[in-house]
Copies of this chain bind each other. A is one copy, B any other.
């Protein structure tokens, strides 16, 4: 079952293809993500958070449309996006696309990227998408679909990522390791419309975006 998770980040960083994203089995909004859902013409199935960003009228309209609410206190240890992803795990979601989580405050952006790598979510295949970028937390493998010349950056999150094998990238890796810190995996380039990567151990962020310059 595939889930679209909509966070409350800045609207101008949302992917352009809202309609195709809407073809998910379930649409879950992290609180203010409701506004981003409406911007994309999408109807939330589930809303999670302290609901501080929803007016009474908006809430009634959602309820009438059959939307379910999971309300949490405002003073909590988790972010709304974290609660939404925890809901996905409990609901047995196998793959989820997260949008609305990259633009805006840099601390939120970094925290959201690292949230993807949380072992609690390792049962799901996660992808974070912004207007121009896709990001995957990779523990085993990923297939990237794009255009020749696109950028693919490999960013280790664990202290080391070992046994990296790539296909379809201009600077191929044949079992090498990358360490967290050095920028060696940044700005690789797609040779064609599909690239593939697998790793033997570690935790890697793979970021796919437009060509450099």
Contacts and interface: CB of A to CB of B under 8 A. Distances in A.
Interface string A179-192: 01111101100000
A108 B133 CA distance: 12
A108 B181 contact: no
B120 A155 contact: no
B181 A114 contact: yes
A17 interface: no
Contacts of A118: 180-182
A183 B115 contact: yes
A186 B79 contact: yes
A156 B115 CA distance: 11
Contacts of A114: 155-156, 180-181
Q: Which of A81, A111, A120 has the most CB of B within 10 A?
A: A111
Nearest to A180: B114
A71 B5 CA distance: 46
Contact of A151 (B107, B151, B205, B212): B107
A19 interface: no
Contacts of A82: 182-183
A113 B106 CA distance: 11
A107 to B, nearest CB: 4
A180 B157 contact: yes
A130 interface: yes
A111 to B, nearest CB: 5
Interface in A59-86: 77-79, 81-82
A110 B102 CA distance: 11
A107 B184 contact: no
Contacts of A181: 114-115, 117-120
Interface in A104-143: 105-115, 117-120, 130, 133
Interface of A: 77-79, 81-82, 102, 105-115, 117-120, 130, 133, 151, 153, 155-159, 180-184, 186-187, 205, 207, 209, 212
